[in-house]
């Protein structure tokens, strides 16, 4: 049957090709210019506004609702739902990867989904989103850059723009159109597990670097080759939640209990500058502001963001973000869409107790038909989404640019990441000018659980959602980096637990955190763990000079140990290019990083932020030594 239809289509096409210019003409048609015969929305010579209005006028309610629906690919019940449910967007959540996690397979997967989308009645391409938050971090073999906290300490907008430009190239190399980045949270409490996703605790650093990131992803202008859509997140106040009000009684997804004045002063500037840079999408935040969920707030999403700030892109909800609004699912949908959410990240996680996208579609349709959501609100949402798709050139270039696929993880890209690592390190202590070390020492001992662990130095949002210890992808550990830069005559010993320090000239001990993301990283205790303390004690007892490197997503509490250390570097979560750390250790780069976050002395000081009335951190905001 399908065969016959297909053959009929072929015959019809041949017929049109042969007789098309005369077939079906009405009297007077000859006076119309040939261009007017092309369907307006398919015609790239037409203005985006004309194309959007033309397409919108052809769409049924189901097709419009489909555009507003975003599903994680792993929860697609059938791939054909992309066409039959008119889905407007797919995403890969953290770790939602094709079976074979290689750039090529990602590109093949993307093209396959896109082909299905294009086979629908109106042939509207999907927009595919992913968390490329420090490089294209779900993809094995991609270049992994330092997490934002490190880039905040580098505080170099040109660097951030370049990092984002390269991330965009790698994302585009797998076909993907859209990154849920930059995260322009302003983390005000180090206990929050997402602290490392923000550039720093002050709004001006976040505004400066967030703008640069948007420029890098979108190449200044949507639709230029190799660029992707950016998404500033999470609107608004995600970094300001009060400890104890969040998930599991901690910080993440909690309540930001501050005045409107403070909300605007601290958490809004990043959005002003992202919008100025032309950011095409913004993600709503899980947190509440004084008891109201951002996802439910018409005041925040519509009055403030769209009307007062004039944001013309679209607002996407966070993963099951509307589900947490009080009331049943249908009520959640009505509240969220009326508040100003344009696209809903459903994402369809039924196996994990989430709502199915078919139910979402059904309930949204019901709500519109019964008048609980005005049709004008639906049209506004779809207009915003379609406008971005047209501006991105998706209708003209829906498939992967394969020339970019092979450049994923290339030497040139990794060189930029290595430079980013060098610039992000902060030298906090350097007694008697111990650093930089000579490359010609006889014997160096390297120790600590984070010295030779690629997964640990990459942190969360790497290959999987929470991240993982071990060799999760391709890259160079800090130990390997050290071995690369020292002279061939130098012996580099590695002992994870710090035994055997006696015979070495110097010890480099790399301690800190292991990977986490979101609420799983919320921690009431940020002191060093027992393994780190034991390793440090062992090395210290050998009586040789001791350099400590902390690999972590935030400042850790070290006041009772630091006096034992001769030198200290905060390396944050540097990513795959461990040589960047070695470059600083051995003087190929004179450190320039400065703290973008106050370094507390004790847990009881947290939250602590620059500008506080009583301000007595271990290291002040802006602190950092050079050689
Ligand atoms: C996070 C977002 C992320 C989304 C998709 C959510 O849990 O809060 O930052 O973009 O998942 O992975
Ligand atoms: C996904 C993440 C998402 C999280 C939220 C995970 O399963 O992989 O992307 O942010 O769920 O709960």
Reference 284, options 305, 270, 260; nearest CA is: 305
Residue list, ligand 1 pocket, CB within 6 Å? 93-94, 131, 180, 233, 318-319, 518
- Calpha distance 525→243 (Å, rounded): 13
Å from CA of 326 to ligand 2 middle: 21
Q: What is the DSSP letter of 625?
A: B
Contact partners, residue 226, CB within 8 Å, separation at least 6? 168, 169, 172, 219, 401, 404
Q: What pLDDT score was predicted for residue 1?
A: 33
Beta strand 344-345 with 69-72 is parallel
pTM given for the model: 0.94
Which residue, by CA, sits nearest to atom 4 of ligand 1? 319
Q: What residue's CA is closest to ligand 2, atom 5?
A: 319
Average pLDDT (450-469) is: 98
The pLDDT score that the predictor gives to residue 36 is 53
Q: What is the DSSP string of 97-114?
A: --SS-SHHHHHHHHHHHH
Region 241-249 average pLDDT? 97
- Determine which helix (DSSP H) or strand (DSSP E) holds 536, and give its type and residue range: helix 530-541
Q: What is the pLDDT of residues 318-335, one digit of tens each?
A: 999 999 999 999 999 999
Residue with tokens 């008119």: 86
Q: How far is the CA of 132 from the centre of ligand 2 (A)?
A: 14
Residue 55: CB atoms within 10 A of its CB come to 24
SS (H, E, C) 168-211: HHHHHCCCCCEECCCECCCCCCCCCCCHHHCCCCCHHHHHHHHH
For the packed helices 48-58 and 375-391, what is the interaxial angle rounded to 10 degrees? 130
pLDDT of 381? 99
Q: Is the CB of 271 under 6 A from ligand 2?
A: no
Find out whether the beta carbon of 393 lies less than 6 Å from any atom of ligand 2: no
pLDDT at 551: 99
Chain centroid offset of residue 192 CA: 17
> Tokens at residue 110, please?
């993307």
Q: Does residue 599 register a pLDDT over 90?
A: yes
H or E element: which one contains 419? helix 411-424
- Ligand nearest to the backbone CA of 90: 1
Active site residues: 318
Report whether residue 93 contacts ligand 2, using a CB cutoff of 6 Å.
yes
- Residue in 92, 94, 95 to alter for ligand 2 test, most ligand atoms within 8 A of Cβ: 94
Counting from 1 in the atom list of ligand 1, the atom nearest the Cα of 465 is 12
Distance CA 273, CA 284 (A): 17
Please tell me the predicted confidence (pLDDT) of residue 6.
37
What pLDDT score does 26 carry?
A: 37
The string over 494-522, giving b where at least 16 C-beta atoms fall within 10 Å of a residue's C-beta and e elsewhere, is bbbebebbeebebbbbbbbbbbbbbbbbb
Whose atoms come closest to the Cα of 96: which ligand? Answer: 2
Average per-residue pLDDT for the chain:
94
Interval 419-448: pLDDT, tens? 999 999 999 999 999 999 999 999 999 999
- β-strand pairing of 567-570 with 426-430: antiparallel
SS (H, E, C) 288-330: EECCEEHHHCHHHHHHHHHHHCCCCCEEECCCCHHHHCCCCHH
Q: Given a cut of 90, is residue 457 above it in pLDDT?
A: yes
617 Cβ closer than 6 Å to some ligand 2 atom:
no
Ligand 2 centre distance from Cα of residue 479 (Å): 32
Q: Which residues on adjacent β-strands are paired with residue 314? A: 281
| Residues 87-131: tens digit of each pLDDT | 999 999 999 999 999 999 999 999 999 999 999 999 999 999 999
Query: In order of start, what are the domains of the chain with their CATH numbers?
Result: 32-405 (3.20.20.300), 412-605 (3.40.50.1700)
> Omega of the bond prior to 182 within 30 degrees of 0, cis?
yes
Residue 354 in contact with ligand 2 by CB distance below 6 A: no
The beta-strand segments (E) located in 14-138 are 69-72, 89-92, 127-130
Predicted local distance difference test score (pLDDT) of residue 220: 82
User: For 216-231, how does the pLDDT look when each residue is reduced to its tens digit (9 = 90+)?
Assistant: 999 988 888 899 999 9
Q: What is the largest distance, in Å, between two alpha-carbon atoms of the chain?
A: 98
């Amino acid at each position: 049957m399908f065969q016959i239809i297909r053959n009929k289509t072929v015959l019809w096409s041949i017929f049109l090709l042969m007789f098309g210019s005369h077939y079906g003409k009405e009297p007077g048609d000859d006076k119309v210019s040939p261009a007017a015969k092309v369907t307006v929305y398919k015609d790239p010579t037409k203005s985006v506004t004309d194309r959007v209005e033309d397409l919108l006028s052809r769409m049924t309610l189901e097709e419009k609702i489909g555009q507003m629906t975003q599903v994680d690919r792993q929860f697609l019940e059938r791939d054909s739902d992309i066409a039959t449910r008119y889905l407007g967007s797919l995403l890969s959540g953290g770790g939602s990867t094709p079976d074979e996690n290689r750039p090529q397979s990602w590109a093949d997967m993307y093209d396959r989904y896109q082909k299905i989308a294009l086979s629908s009645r109106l042939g509207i391409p999907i927009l595919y989103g992913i968390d490329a938050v420090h490089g294209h971090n779900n993809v094995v073999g991609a270049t992994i850059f330092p997490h934002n906290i490190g880039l905040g300490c580098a505080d170099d907008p040109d660097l951030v723009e370049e990092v984002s430009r390269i991330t965009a190239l790698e994302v585009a190399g797998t076909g993907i159109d859209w990154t849920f980045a930059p995260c322009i949270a302003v983390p005000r409490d180090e206990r929050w597990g997402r602290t490392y996703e923000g550039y720093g605790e002050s709004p001006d650093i976040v505004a400066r670097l967030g703008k640069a990131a948007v420029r890098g992803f979108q190449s200044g202008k949507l639709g230029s080759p190799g660029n992707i859509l950016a998404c500033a997140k999470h609107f608004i106040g995600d970094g300001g939640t009060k400890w104890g009000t969040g998930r599991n009684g901690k910080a993440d997804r909690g309540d930001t209990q501050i005045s409107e004045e403070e909300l605007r002063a601290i958490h809004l500037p990043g959005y002003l500058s992202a919008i100025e840079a032309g950011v095409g999408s913004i993600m709503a935040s899980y947190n509440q502001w004084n008891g109201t969920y951002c996802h439910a707030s018409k005041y925040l999403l519509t009055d403030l963001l769209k009307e007062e700030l004039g944001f013309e892109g679209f607002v996407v909800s966070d993963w099951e973000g509307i589900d947490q609004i009080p009331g049943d699912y249908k009520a959640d949908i009505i509240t969220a869409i009326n508040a100003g959410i344009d696209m809903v990240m459903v994402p369809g996680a039924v196996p994990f107790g989430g709502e199915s996208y078919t139910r979402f579609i059904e309930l949204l349709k019901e709500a519109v038909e019964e008048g609980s959501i005005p049709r004008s609100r639906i049209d506004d949402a779809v207009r915003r989404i379609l406008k971005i798709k047209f501006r991105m050139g998706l209708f003209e270039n829906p498939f992967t640019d394969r020339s970019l696929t092979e450049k994923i993880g290339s030497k040139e890209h990794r060189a930029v990441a290595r430079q980013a690592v060098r610039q992000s390190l902060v030298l906090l202590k350097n007694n008697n000018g111990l650093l930089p070390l000579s490359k010609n020492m006889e014997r160096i001992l390297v120790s600590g659980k984070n010295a030779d662990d690629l997964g640990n130095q990459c942190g969360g949002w790497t290959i999987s959602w929470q991240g993982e210890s071990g060799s999760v992808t391709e890259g160079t550990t800090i130990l390997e980096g050290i071995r690369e830069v020292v002279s061939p005559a130098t012996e580099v010993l590695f002992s994870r637990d710090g035994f055997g320090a006696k015979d070495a000239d110097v010890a480099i001990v790399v301690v800190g955190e292991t990977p986490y993301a979101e609420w799983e990283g919320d921690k009431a205790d940020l002191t060093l763990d027992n393994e780190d303390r034991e390793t440090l004690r062992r090395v210290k007892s050998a009586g040789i000079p001791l350099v400590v490197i902390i690999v972590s997503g935030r400042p850790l509490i070290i006041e009772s140990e630091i006096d034992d250390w001769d030198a200290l570097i905060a390396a944050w979560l540097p990513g795959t290019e461990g040589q960047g750390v070695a470059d600083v250790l051995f003087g190929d780069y004179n450190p320039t990083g400065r703290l973008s976050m106050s370094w507390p002395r004790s847990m009881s000081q947290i939250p602590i932020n620059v500008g506080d009335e009583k301000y007595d951190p271990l290291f002040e905001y802006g602190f950092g030594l050079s050689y």
